[in-house]
């Protein structure tokens, strides 16, 4: 064993002793093989030196057979998953390492399904769409959507009105008993981390604030409504898992970014793919054809949407949002969640983009795509945060996602 300066450690070296930081927290256990990620963490925590096993001791370490083979395979799959991204970039590298860990813990759902699809090697025949679908008509009268419930508009107005009081929102929400019950369940979930259980809407509004309760009520109403119309054509659980994960991610990022409205980015994350949902529901054949074409051409679905629908699902979602009288800022967030920004976008726009990209990278729920798009660095730069924040953000998402999706969805 030898004591080594942290800046002299190389990946592959093995810890001979547990690493404990100045506050007495155990960072790593002995016998851990260090990778770039752990070395970065050691530097981040300001650990000056650690005990490393000598070469002969390392040799004597018994490793389970096949471990490195498995890791190699996982890397190969992830390399494909990240192929559109520059792995030398520190943000990409951090997310890649997080994904590799998640893969080992079987948290990487998307890559698992990606693997299955690859093995099937089946490409469906390309269907034909005669004309570009007329979206403005779809928005006006062609779309077969039942009227949105009145409560949806009432909550939307409450969100937009800065003078709306806690009592006003409680009065609106309490008209719908199932909405009230779901809202209380979510308020009492780990996501909100309240120290005491809240048993009435009145206390929920006091504990969380009017805006937070309003956006939560809005989100629950939207999901319930769309769940009813689209169940047959879309795996709704997967869809909302992706969307709720984006909402949670956006809100978590918002705690690290100054000057953003955390409730607006939460709703933006929740509804960013609403255009895709309506297109899938209204034009299943055209969507099927588009998916097949994208697979043949090796493109992302959103890259073909202009050809098929005259606009992307982001743009369509933003038009729907305007139709439903959402604020312009919110419809902007929906519009640009796949944009490759030529310059740094407004913070909230970059934040929702980043949330969608990160949730796609992590493979939570279904974004609809079978690959990870190239990260727009301008979107990342809009947040002005360090990549060291990504790991704690992902930990928070993992802690909250299962419970929140369950409550939102049931
Ligand atoms: Fe999308
Ligand atoms: Fe998405």
Q: Ligand 2 centroid vs 243 CA: distance in angstroms?
A: 7
Could you give the residue ranges of the DSSP H alpha helices within 161-300? 166-173, 177-187, 201-208, 210-230, 236-254, 262-271, 274-282, 284-297
Spacing, Cα 359 to ligand 1 middle (Å): 11
Q: Is the pLDDT of residue 255 over 60?
A: yes
Mind listing the pLDDT tens digit for each residue in 284-305? 888 888 888 988 888 998 899 9
Please check the confidence at residue 8 and state whether its pLDDT lies above 80: yes
Task: Give CATH superfamily name and number for 135-409.
Answer: Hypothetical protein af1432 (1.10.3210.10)
**Alpha carbon distances (Å) from 14 to 61, 87, 155, 181, 311:** 9, 25, 56, 51, 53
Ligand nearest to the CA of 354: 2
For residue range 136-166, list pLDDT tens digits in order.
666 665 555 556 678 888 888 877 777 888 8
- Which ligand is the nearest neighbour of the Cα of 356? 2
Using the mean position of ligand 1's atoms as its centre, give its distance from the Cα of residue 41 in Å.
33
Among candidate residues 26, 58, 57, the one with its CA nearest the CA of residue 42? 26
Ligand closest in space to the Cα of 312: 1
- C-alpha distances in Å from residue 78, one per residue of 140, 167, 380: 43, 50, 21
pLDDT at 119: 33
**Straight-line distance from the first to the last Cα atom of the chain, in angstroms, rounded to the nearest whole number:** 55
- Where is pLDDT greater, at 133 or 123? 133
Say how many Å lie between the CA of residue 168 and the centre of ligand 2: 33
Helix (H) or strand (E) holding 106: none
Q: How far is the CA of 296 from the centre of ligand 2 (A)?
A: 21
Find the 119 Cα to ligand 2 centroid distance in Å.
25
Domain-wise residue ranges, the chain = 2-60, 67-118, 135-409
Torsion, Cα 72 91 240 153, to 10 degrees, reads 180
Whether the Cβ atoms of residue 276 and residue 368 lie closer than 8 Å to each other: yes
CA–centroid distance, residue 302 to ligand 1 (Å): 7
Q: 32 alpha carbon to ligand 1 midpoint, in Å?
A: 39
From the CA of 206, how far away is ligand 1's center (Å)? 34
Q: Which ligand is nearest to the CA of 305?
A: 1
Can you give the pLDDT at residue 22?
Answer: 67
What separation in Å is there between the alpha carbon of 342 and the centre of ligand 2?
20
Q: Which of 157-161, 356-360, 380-384 is predicted with the least confidence, judged by mean pLDDT?
A: 157-161
Instruction: Give residue 410 CA to ligand 2 midpoint distance, Å.
Output: 21
- Alpha carbons 332 and 156: distance in angstroms, whole number: 16
CA of 313 to the centre of ligand 1 (A): 7
The residues whose Cβ lies within 5 A of ligand 1, an ion, are: 273
CA angle 365-224-312, nearest 5°? 55
The ligand whose atoms approach the alpha carbon of 315 most closely is 1
Please state which of the ranges 32-36, 83-87, 90-94 shows the lowest mean pLDDT.
32-36
Same fold, 2-60 and 135-409: no
How many angstroms is it from 261 CA to the middle of ligand 1?
21
- In angstroms, what is the span from residue 337 Cα to ligand 1's centroid? 6
Q: Which ligand is nearest to the CA of 276?
A: 1
The domain 2-60 having CATH identifier 3.90.105.10: the answer here is: yes
């Amino acid at each position: 064993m030898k004591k080594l300066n942290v800046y002299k450690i190389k990946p592959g070296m093995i810890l001979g002793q547990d690493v404990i930081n100045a506050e007495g927290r155990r960072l790593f256990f002995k016998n851990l093989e260090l990778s770039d990620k752990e070395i970065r963490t050691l530097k981040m925590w300001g650990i000056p030196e650690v005990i490393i096993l000598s070469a002969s001791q390392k040799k004597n370490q018994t490793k389970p057979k096949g471990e490195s083979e498995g890791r190699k395979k996982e890397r190969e799959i992830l390399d494909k998953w990240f192929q559109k991204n520059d792995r030398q970039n520190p943000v990409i590298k951090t997310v890649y390492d997080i994904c590799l860990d998640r893969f080992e813990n079987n948290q990487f759902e998307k890559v698992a399904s990606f693997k299955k699809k690859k093995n099937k090697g089946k490409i469906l025949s390309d269907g034909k769409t005669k004309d570009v679908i007329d979206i403005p008509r779809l928005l006006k009268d062609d779309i077969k959507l039942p009227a949105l419930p009145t409560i949806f508009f009432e909550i939307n107005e409450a969100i937009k009105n800065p003078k709306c009081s806690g009592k006003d929102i409680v009065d609106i929400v309490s008209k719908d008993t199932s909405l009230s019950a779901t809202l209380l369940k979510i308020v009492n979930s780990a996501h909100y981390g309240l120290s005491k259980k809240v048993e009435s809407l009145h206390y929920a509004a006091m504990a969380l604030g009017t805006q937070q309760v309003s956006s939560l009520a809005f989100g629950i109403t939207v999901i319930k409504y769309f769940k009813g119309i689209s169940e047959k054509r879309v795996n709704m659980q997967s869809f909302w898992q992706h969307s709720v994960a984006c909402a949670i991610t956006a809100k978590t990022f918002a705690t690290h970014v100054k000057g953003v409205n955390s409730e607006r980015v939460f709703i933006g994350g929740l509804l960013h793919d609403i255009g895709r949902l309506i297109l899938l529901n209204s034009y299943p054949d055209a969507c099927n054809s588009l998916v097949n074409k994208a697979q043949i051409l090796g493109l992302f679905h959103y890259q073909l949407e202009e050809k098929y629908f005259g606009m992307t699902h982001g743009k369509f979602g933003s038009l729907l949002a305007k139709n439903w009288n959402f604020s312009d800022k919110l419809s902007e967030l929906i519009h640009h969640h796949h944009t490759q920004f030529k310059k740094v976008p407004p913070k909230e726009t970059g934040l929702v983009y980043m949330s969608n990209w990160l949730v796609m990278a992590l493979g939570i729920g279904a974004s609809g795509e079978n690959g990870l798009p190239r990260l727009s660095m301008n979107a990342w730069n809009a947040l002005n945060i360090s990549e060291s924040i990504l790991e704690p953000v992902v930990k928070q998402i993992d802690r909250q996602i299962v419970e929140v999706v369950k409550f939102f969805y049931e």
